[in-house]
A and B are shown apart, each in its own frame.
Chain A
Amino acid sequence: MKAGWLPKLLITPSAFLVLVCVYGYIMFTVYLSFTASTILPNLEWSGTAAYTRLFGLENWGVSLNNLWVFASLYILIAMGLGLMLAILIDQKVRAESGFRSIFLYPMALSFIVTGTAWKWLLDPGVGLEHTLHALGWGDFSFGWIKDSEMAIYCVIVAAVWQTTGFVMAMFLAGLRGVDGEQINAARLDGASPLQIYYRIIIPQLGPVFISAFVILAHMAIKSYDLVIALTNGGPGRSTWLPSVFMYQYTFTRNEMSVGAASSVLMLLGIAVVVLPYLYSELRKGNHG
């Protein structure tokens, strides 16, 4: 039905809020990244100085490098583990819903709660190392969280723990949607279960792989709470991510234009991952 004045009027506040508070603010932040703003926004144009400074900063290099390590391993492990759990659970196991609930419940927790639990679990003074010492394994040592080379891997462990169940649920939904006749035909031809998964089922999960990748990649770029709760960016700055960098430079170090520039790059990173996906999903939606 063609819209009269009432529906148009009623959707206007939402449209206005999204337009202003999302897209207007994005434009404002983009503009700020081309100024010399320090503690307060300063609207005087200063070209790409903030970006030049940003790319010269070692802190930004560390943040980007960490994001690369974190995102690639996090996505890879969460997807691998999620797919494995989904396949295992799909073998008509007993207490299936119990297992599913156990793998998925961390998704209900706040990253601050997850970070707190893992912070002390991974802490050599009270956590796993301490526990194994108390149990008699005196030479066991596990101090990644205090080691600036290894601390980023602790963030990966906690992030994988939190989101693997979600990936599992996505794959499980995909597995349940695979065409059963093809599988039966392959079985009659004498294909082994492993071959069936490898040749028939997993290739059909392509769309799930893409969805899971997009969701995980965008979560990785946005990750902030978990790092703050788990390591607070440390030791030193060894677990900084762009999100931590942005907050530090904008609100603590009073280099607002550099902070703004870093958030613009975060948005670009997410846009590169998400926009092609949304475009294809919306087109699919429109064509039935």
Chain B
Amino acid sequence: MGQVARVVLYLILLITAFAFIMPVYVMVVNSLKPLDEIRNGDLMALPIAWTVEPWLMAWSKSQIGVQATGLRPYFINSFLLVIPSVVLSTLIGALNGYILTQFKFKFADTLFAAMLFSVFIPFQIVLIPMAKTLGFLGLAGTVKGLIFVNTVYGIGFTTLFFRNYYAAFPNELVRSARMDGAGFFGVLYKILLPNSAPIIVVTVIWQFTNIWNEFLFGASFSDYTSFPLTVALNNLVSASTGVKEYNVHFAGAFIAAIPTLVVYLVSGKYFVRGLMAGSVKG
């Protein structure tokens, strides 16, 4: 490739990279400005009078529910929701993947196909009966209810991940362990799980990102005590009363983005692998 073409190539990549970074740059820079600097200045400029006040407002002072609690309680809600949901759905996925690949039984393929399709359904189709179910179980408007919902609708993904991973697992290892007398759990604990680190990481990252970012279930099944962070953030930003505090909104949005961004930066490789595994089925 010629010199000129190379320069053009880098130029296009750099401009595109700039466009991809710009929204988050704007978010961070303007979350550190007083409001009048945003109103009178431009969004690209660095702050003149740096301030962390918008962050404090977003974190612990701004009005979200009935009370001016900031995003903090909802940030905690999201963790209380995400951790059990991720652990449960990952464990279930590992167990299902093991059973679906190592044992033959009637309807196994049908069951897997049914789980696979469940990954794609628009969740609007289950909202009404799920609302009834949560009400019936006494879980409406609770974090527990959201854990239940996110776990149930995560099973399809986690089963898919583990099934595909175990389907490619060397069969000799499993067979020789069985020869040595390992039972159902023996094979799982001693052979499969110790060799599952990559797929466990992929699944945990995938589930963490998905459930942390989830909005529809949160908006449908929670109330002021149990909002996940996404719902609280949306309430903060779309509250129509009073002055629009752009700097506080940007700070809040960045707070909501931090956990998944950290996960992405620390484990980008596995994040991509999850995306790929989620897109190439079968």
Contact = CB atoms under 8 A, between A and B. Distances in A.
A41 interface: yes
A235 interface: no
Contacts of B260: 108-110
Contact of B96 (A3, A8, A14): A14
Interface in A81-124: 85, 88-89, 91, 93, 99, 101-121
Contacts of B96: 11, 14
Given A117-B250, A224-B215, A134 B129 contact: no
A264 interface: yes
A278 B103 contact: no
A270 interface: yes
A251 B19 CA distance: 38
B216 A225 contact: yes
Contact of A113 (B109, B114, B256, B264): B256
B190 interface: no
A91 B20 contact: no
B76 interface: no
Interface in A252-280: 256, 259-260, 262-264, 266-267, 270, 274-275, 277-278
Given A103-B16, A285-B282, A116 B127 contact: no
A228 B215 contact: yes
Contacts of A99: 13, 17
B1 interface: yes
B99 A3 contact: yes
A263 B130 CA distance: 14
B263 interface: yes
A127 to B, nearest CB: 6
A175 interface: no
Contacts of A193: 1
Interface of A: 1-4, 6-8, 10-11, 14-15, 17-19, 21-26, 28-29, 32, 41, 85, 88-89, 91, 93, 99, 101-121, 126-128, 130-132, 134-135, 161, 165-166, 169-170, 173, 193, 211-212, 215, 218, 221-222, 224-225, 228-229, 232, 243, 246-247, 250-251, 256, 259-260, 262-264, 266-267, 270, 274-275, 277-278, 281-285
A114 B122 CA distance: 21
Contacts, number: 265
Interface stretch (B23-31, B48-56, B138-146, B196-204): B23-31
Contact residues of A: prevailing secondary structure? helix
Contact residues of B: prevailing secondary structure? helix
A284 B233 contact: no
A3 B107 CA distance: 12
Contacts of B130: 21, 25
Interface string B39-78: 1111110000000000000000000000000000000000
B113 A11 contact: no
Contacts of A104: 268, 271-272
Nearest to B39: A126
Interface residues of B, number: 93
A89 B121 CA distance: 34
A222 B113 contact: no
Given A251-B220, A263-B124, A267-B122, A282 B113 contact: yes
Contacts of A8: 105
B257 A278 contact: no
B237 A3 contact: no
A88 to B, nearest CB: 6
B173 interface: no
B122 A270 contact: yes
Contacts of A267: 121-122, 125
B136 interface: no
B193 interface: no
A110 B256 contact: yes
